[in-house]
Amino acid sequence: MSFNNGSPSSNSGKLTAYRGHVVSPIDRATYKDIPEGVIVVDENGLINAVGKWSDFQRQQFSHVVNYGKQLIMPGFIDLHIHLAQIAQAGRSGDTLLGWLTKYIFPEEAKFASVDHAQHRANWFFRELAANGTTLASVFTSVHGKATDIAFKAADAFGSRVIMGRVFMDTNSPESLTDDPQKALAESDDLCSRWHGKDNDRLMYAFTPRFAPTSTSASMKAIGELWARHPGSYMQTHLSENIDEIKWVAQLFPSCKNYLDVYHTHGLTGKNSLFAHSIHLSDDEKALLVKTSSSVAHCPSSNFFLKSGAFPIREMERAGVKFGLGSDVAAGPEMSMFKVMRDAAFMQSVDWLSPAELLYLATLAGAVAVNKQDRLGSLDAGKEADFIIVDPTRKSSVDPELLEHPAEDILSNLVYVGDDRMIVSTYVRGKAIYEAKQAETPGALNYGSRVS
């Protein structure tokens, strides 16, 4: 196996070399492991080459950034997160429907204030970057202005997002109940102005919250609008909680099952993304596959709200496309390290390898949103969305860990990883987050504190 994506690059334009230990998924089971590696990034923020530094060291670069033994990995892809819920993370007290009423709806109503929306958007995008997430699929709230503010904040910060204004026009508190015509017009306008901006760094997703808070007429209209914006996305929730599923059956008695509600309203297909999808029938799984729809598996959220367990091997066998989502605030943390760990812990019998979990948190997410040609791994021709990771920045980690084989390091990342391990986050070759320099690495910090 060769780890080079092609030969050392021809010298066109300005090239920056990032040296470090390159770890990047190839597929579910395998990954590139180049201990003294390099990724070469061109002036457009695309990866020009990946390989061993010894094959490149005689080449001229505009800059060489040497991260030593620290890891260079693709940034995380979080397929499902709620910007407007960030302040409610960790508020536990009920299962889905009660939790929405008690904690979430009052919080989302605050986004009618543009000052509030601005403050929260700034906080949200900084946090995403600090956690090493380089693409997130984001729900905002039912507020057009707040969603516009969120896009502006993402644009200014340099984040990559798929994002959309939430749509709810029935069974919702008054403060969050949309006038459907206004909601459609605002969604249409937001998509027209933001989808595809900066060469697809910013993308739009039509975002009906879930079937219980949508009328049949509004879902149909959203489906038609989505079809009029080629390349845009549709995101919603599906089959998360048993009471929710029973409610959907009562509300839409003529539909065969929960997914059929979305399907009959034109909301399945390529670029549709369904969060949770825990309790699906075989027919629903087959329909996801047939329509090329994708799923965001959100294990931390499923634990938090006692929603149930995602049948990961069944979904795989059925051929459903899925990656991972934090689902903040039902998921208590944005860190995809925690989400990987929870995905592993959720399976009470099946063992998921660290390599597979890394794949699920990166390349599988790119596949789920049909962007695997550009995102999800470190390969020539893809966007330079990468993170620098140093596990020894966490004081409980063996300070010698980076001397170990990649297999050990990956296992540590999955089971003890958190945001302290993120050194830098790059989107399209631009550093959008750099951690403060630790005085001394890892456990030695502890030593200096007690001395």
Binding residues vs Zn ion (CB under 5 A): 275, 327
CB of 201 to Zn ion, least distance (A): 23
- Residues sharing a CB contact under 8 Å with residue 225, sequence separation 6 or more, in sequence order: 184, 187, 188, 191, 206
If one counts every other C-beta atom within 10 angstroms of the C-beta of residue 157, the result is: 18
428 binding ligand GUN? (CB under 6 A): no
Largest CA distance in the chain: 71
- Of 275 and 422, which has the nearer Cβ to Zn ion? 275
> Which of 50, 211 has the CB closer to Zn ion?
211
| Buried-exposed string 21-44: b where 16+ CB fall within 10 A, e elsewhere | bbbbbbebeebbbbbebbbbbbee
Helices (H), 164-311: 180-194, 197-200, 216-227, 242-251, 258-264, 282-290, 299-304
Q: Contact with ligand GUN (CB under 6 A): which of 195, 229, 237, 394?
A: 237
Question: Which position among 72, 261, 330, 339 is part of the footprint of ligand GUN (CB under 6 A)?
Answer: 330
Q: Closest CB to ligand GUN among 96 and 255?
A: 96
DSSP 36-77: EEEEEEETTSBEEEEEEGGGTTTS--SEEEEEEEEEEEEPEE
Q: Select 237 or 321, whichever has its Cβ closest to ligand GUN.
A: 237
Contact between 143 and ligand GUN (CB under 6 A)? no
Contact between 240 and ligand GUN by CB under 6 A: the answer reads yes
Within residues 75-114, the interface with ligand GUN by CB under 6 A covers 82, 96, 100, 104
Q: Are 323 and 79 in contact (CB under 8 A)?
A: yes
For residue 39, which phi and psi values (nearest 5 degrees)?
-115, 135
> Interface residues for ligand GUN in 201-220 (CB under 6 A)?
209-210
Interacting partner of 195 out of Zn ion, ligand GUN, none (Cβ under 5 to 8 A depending on kind): none
Residue 210 interaction partner, one of ligand GUN, Zn ion, none, beta carbon < 5-8 Å per kind: ligand GUN
> How many chain residues interact with ligand GUN (CB under 6 A)?
11
Interaction partner, residue 96 (Zn ion, ligand GUN, none; CB < 5-8 Å by kind): ligand GUN
| Distance in Å, CB of 266 to ligand GUN, minimum | 20
Among 70, 218, 271, 301, binds ligand GUN (CB under 6 A): 301
For ligand GUN, the closer CB: 184 or 298: 298
| 165 touches ligand GUN by CB under 6 A | no
Amino acid at site 218 = S
Query: What is the SS3 assignment for 298?
Result: coil
Is it true that the peptide bond before 183 is cis, omega within 30 degrees of 0? no
Cβ at position 306, least distance to Zn ion in Å: 15
CB of 223 or CB of 325, closer to Zn ion: 325
Supply the minimum distance, in Å, between the C-beta of residue 447 and Zn ion: 42
CA 242 to chain centre: 25
| Minimum CB–partner distance for residue 350 and Zn ion (Å) | 24
Instruction: Give yes or no for a contact between 389 and 70, defined as CB atoms under 8 angstroms apart.
Output: yes
For every residue of 306-324, DSSP letters joined together read: T-----HHHHHHHT-EEEE
CA atoms within 13 A on the CB side of 321: 24
Of the pair 71, 305, the CB lying nearest Zn ion is at 305
Q: At what angle do helices 354-361 and 406-416 cross, to 10 degrees?
A: 60
Q: For binding to ligand GUN (CB under 6 A), which residues are involved? A: 82, 96, 100, 104, 209-210, 237, 240, 301, 327, 330
